[in-house]
Homo-oligomer: A and B are copies of this chain.
Amino acid sequence: MSSRDAPEGLDDLRRRLDEIDAALIGLVAERLDVARRVAKRKARAGDRLFHRDREEAVVAARRDAGAALGLDPELVEDLFRRLILASHAAQSVILREARADDARRVAIIGGAGAMGSFLARFFAEQGHEVLIADVATPLTPEAAADAADVVVVSVPIAVTEEVIGRVGPRVRPGGALMDVTSLKEAPVRAMLGSTDAEVVGLHPMFGPSVGSVHRQVFAVCPGRGERWLGWIRETLLSQGAELVECSPDEHDRAMAVIQVLRHAATMAFGRALRDLGVDIEDSLRFSSPIYRLELIMTGRLFAQSPDLYADLSLGNAHRGPVAEALERAVSQVAGVVRSGDREAFIREFRDVAAYFEGFAERALVESDSLIARMVERM
């Protein structure tokens, strides 16, 4: 707030910072523009847009270039990861204009819902013709199924089997029936029973609020047939999604942990906070980053639909042992905490730490980076 007399005053330096930032922003805009032009060319040539290997090579090269100028490679990696993500979002839009000759007709049953709208936009962006059927649309699920090459069922779990029973028999021979339910045993069984067409079970392992499928995981359960399985694989991979192929049984067993166990633990944490009369805002003042992170993940769960969570937990055939294991584990840990028995606490801690060995160190590094990102925006 002074020093205007000096040869290089604070004002001069601030002006220089403003100039640098303006140039940075201009280059970012140009980078996105060039990325769009790349997408146009690739779409015209029918090339796949996303190549994870190439992306990793670009990131590694930028890290090296930064290091050569004395920059922290982690800083450079963070910046370019963010730019690459933005490029992908910009490129996805381009694809709408291309691929007219590959266009399929895709019916989204439940296409007015959050995930249904996401899928409708996703397929439309790739040049496909999308038919949307939902409870309030003039187009019925049956009529949409009649008219489509691929029928995707994206409805609440509770009505999935019923809807599959209605549209399955209408899927054309040579077409395909798919679903995006968060459970896979019952829906895939229902699809196989309702149609002779090809069948694929999908589970997008993310919510519809993501910007694109880039780097998002889809569980893929092959049901019947190879042609449309290949098509959906290529459709997702070409947009940068990651696929995990598994049987419906494997999938639902994994979800008993990833969803049932995790959601129960989170719900219980939220309930304990409420029962203790914790004032959320007050506790956030202290906000260690880890507590804040747990609190926003807990708040996130409770911002969503109770019906969805009831379906995910209660519809999973493997829920029983998982809920029991959580109850036993909490009772064990809480017991040790209440007792104040230090030896027992340390024994308990070491037991579980041994199970996490090999993963824990990696988790520390990964969570450090994540926490740093969160603290920046706190």
Contact = CB atoms under 8 A, between A and B. Distances in A.
Contacts of A210: 368, 371-372, 375
B299 A363 contact: yes
Contact of A8 (B37, B86, B267): B37
Interface in A278-337: 278, 280-283, 285-291, 293-300, 302-304, 306-307, 309-310, 313-314, 319-335, 337
Given A66-B25, A283-B254, A270 B337 contact: no
A93 interface: no
Candidate in A259, A289, A304, A350 with the most chain B CB atoms within 10 angstroms: A289
Contacts of A288: 205-206, 217, 258-259
Interface string A1-39: 111001011100110110011111111111110110110
B21 A24 contact: no
Q: Number of copies of this chain in the oligomer?
A: 2
A257 B270 contact: no
A285 B218 CA distance: 10
Contacts of A100: none
B3 A41 contact: yes
Contacts of A366: 296, 377
A267 B352 contact: yes
Candidate in A31, A80, A271, A272 with the most chain B CB atoms within 10 angstroms: A272
Given A287-B205, A314-B342, A375-B215, A6 B41 contact: yes
